Amino acid sequence: MEPMKPMEGMKPMEPMKSIGADRWWPESLGDHPNSAGGQNEMRYAYFAGKNRLAIDTGNGAITVYDTAGHRVSGVQQDQSGNGRKLAFTGDGKTISLDDLKKVSD
C-alpha cells in the first residue's frame, strides 16, 4: 500500500466583475438597479429610488420610462404573435409599458 500524495494547492480565485462593467443602461441611473433581468434579446433594469425603468428590446435602443411611483416587483414577457411585449407587476396590479411615460430613448 502506497502513502497518499499531498493535495495540490488551490488556484487563486478570479476577481469578481463589478456590475458597472456589465451596465447597459444609461450611466445617469447608476450602477445598482433594484432588479434587473432579461430573456432572449430583451432586458430590463428597475431603479426604485429614481422611479426609472430602462428597457432594451434587443435592437440596440435603450428606452427609459418614469415608473410614476409604482413599485415594480416582477416582469412578464409575452412573445406570442408578431411582437414581444413586456408587462410588469407592482402594487398588486399589472403595469404595461403603455401606461408609463417615456423619458428618453
Q: Tens digit of pLDDT for each residue in 52-73?
A: 999 998 887 899 999 987 888 7
Give yes or no for residue 16 having a pLDDT over 80: no
Flag whether 38 is in a domain: yes
Specify the 3-state DSSP secondary structure of 8. coil
Flag whether 2 is in a domain: no
pLDDT of residue 82: 53
Give yes or no for residue 30 having a pLDDT over 80: yes
Flag whether 19 is in a domain: no
- The percentage of residues in the chain with a pLDDT greater than 90, rounded to a whole number, is 26
Looking at the structure of the chain, the number of domains it has is 1
In this structure, are residues 43 and 6 in contact, taking their beta carbons and an 8 Å threshold? no
Give 68's DSSP letter.
T
Flag whether 20 is in a domain: no
Residue range 76-104: mean pLDDT, rounded: 78
The more confidently predicted of residues 30 and 79 is 30
- Write out the residue range of the structural domain in which residue 73 sits: 34-104
With cell 478570479, the residue in question is: 14
Global model pTM greater than 0.75: no
Specify the 3-state DSSP secondary structure of 99. helix
Flag whether 10 is in a domain: no
